[in-house]
């Protein structure tokens, strides 16, 4: 059964969010929440419980990175553990940023990425957003199989990362690359709510913000009906 509600939640503030030097000291997956991040996770749990209802079941899918695990732990403080099911899935992990990098290297990559276009730019020894999109697409196979289960809960939450949320929404709602480029990353512990409509499709009730001064080249193309195909 398709869930009535799907929630996408970005992790709380992490060490890397406040000091980029951590990316040169620790592998990305080991970065942990700050004190503020832990508080954000608890507040997100309270907010999510209000949307779900204290007597209703919910299924969680979690990125295995430590900051998303800690966010999940903070969210759970608001829930009855008997109404929770959960599963880790590496396909919804953060975009790979390669090996340990200095803050100067991170700044150089970010500058190149914005100039080139973040969707196609592949980080050295890492991934492009297009790679994350492919992972999200494969993750959908698991979601759809789970949704077919008779006893699947009416509520589902995905605790993940900013880029992953944007790629999941891009895949779900068939955004163009230009539409993806125009969206800003979610804030820490921001919750995005997808609600099932009468037509059996989901509506995004909390859209992403637009990116300020995004400089991606706006390519306008003709409708396919204008093209003549010689096969």
What is the secondary structure of the chain as a DSSP string?
A: ---SEEEEEE---BHHHH-GGGGGTS-GGG--B-HHHHHHHHHHHHHHHHHH-TTS-EEEEE--SHHHHHHHHHHHTTS-GGGEEEEE-GGGSPPP--S---HHHHHHHHHHHHHH-TTTPPPTTS--HHHHHHHHHHHHHHHHHHHTSTT--SEEEEEE-HHHHHHHHHHHHT--HHHHHTBPPPPTT-EEEEEE-TTS-EEESSPPPBPTT----------GGG-----
Confidence grade of residue 230 (pLDDT, cut at 50, 70, 90):
very low
Residue 100 has pLDDT above 90, yes or no: no
Average pLDDT, the chain: 91
Main-chain phi, psi angles of 110, to 5 degrees: -65, -40
Provide the pLDDT for residue 168. Answer: 98
Catalytic one of 21, 38, 94, 114: 94
Domains in the chain: boundaries = 5-226
Provide the pLDDT for residue 231. Answer: 35
What percent of the chain is modeled with pLDDT above 90? 78
This prediction has a pTM of 0.91
Is 181 catalytic? The answer is no
Catalytic one of 11, 15, 127, 161: 11
CB 74 within 8 A of CB 45: yes
> If one looks up domain 5-226 in CATH, what number appears?
3.40.50.1240
Question: Rounded to an integer, what distance in angstroms lies between the CA atom of residue 34 and that of residue 55?
Answer: 31
Is 144 catalytic? The answer is no
- The Cβ of residue 72 has, within 10 Å, a number of other Cβ atoms equal to 23
């Amino acid at each position: 059964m398709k869930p009535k509600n799907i929630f996408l939640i970005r992790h709380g503030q992490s060490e890397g969010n406040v000091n980029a030097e951590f990316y040169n000291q620790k592998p990305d997956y080991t970065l942990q929440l700050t004190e503020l991040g832990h508080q954000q996770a608890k507040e997100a749990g309270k907010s999510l419980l209000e949307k779900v209802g204290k007597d209703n079941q919910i299924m969680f899918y979690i990125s295995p990175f430590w900051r998303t695990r800690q966010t999940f732990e903070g969210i759970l403080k608001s829930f009855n553990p008997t109404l929770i099911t959960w599963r880790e899935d590496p396909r919804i992990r953060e975009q790979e940023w390669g090996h340990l990098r200095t803050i100067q290297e991170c700044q150089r990559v970010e500058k190149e990425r914005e100039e080139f276009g973040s969707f196609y730019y592949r980080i050295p020894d890492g991934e492009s957003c297009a790679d994350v999109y492919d992972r999200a697409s494969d993750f959908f196979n698991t979601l759809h199989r789970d949704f077919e289960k008779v006893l699947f809960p009416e509520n589902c939450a995905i605790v993940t990362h900013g880029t992953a949320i944007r790629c999941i929404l891009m895949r779900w709602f068939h955004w163009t690359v230009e539409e993806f480029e125009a969206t800003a990353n979610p804030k820490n512990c921001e919750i995005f709510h997808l609600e099932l409509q009468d037509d059996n499709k989901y509506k995004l009730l909390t859209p992403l913000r637009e990116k300020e001064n995004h400089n991606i080249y706006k390519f306008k193309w003709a409708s396919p009906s204008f093209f003549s195909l010689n096969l």
